[in-house]
Amino acid sequence: MKLEVNLPDNSYKNFTEHQIKIILASALYDKGVTGTGYAAESVGLGKRELIEEMGEYGVSVLNMTAEEVKRTIENAKRRAKARR
């Protein structure tokens, strides 16, 4: 789908078209509407570049709570220790 958005001149004058696309892709990703692959494709970037740019706008690709991150780290430590 192609979407055209009319914004008041003063609302986006400090943003490039690319930045506005990143902001929209970031919002759609953050809301769970799309994944990083499609979001990156829609902006014309690779996943890594999109993830880096999304970080500049405060969007985390980890979508995990602090507790989930902590549990994931602990599990990884246990698995690494068991392999030794």
pLDDT band at 67 (very low <50, low <70, confident <90, very high): confident
- pLDDT per residue as tens digits for the range 33-43: 888 888 889 99
Across 9-35, average pLDDT: 83
* pTM confidence score: 0.63
What is the domain partition of the chain in residue ranges?
Answer: 15-83
Provide the pLDDT for residue 43.
92
> Which of 11, 39, 37 lies closest to 26 in space, CA to CA?
39
Q: How far apart are the first and last CA of the chain?
A: 51
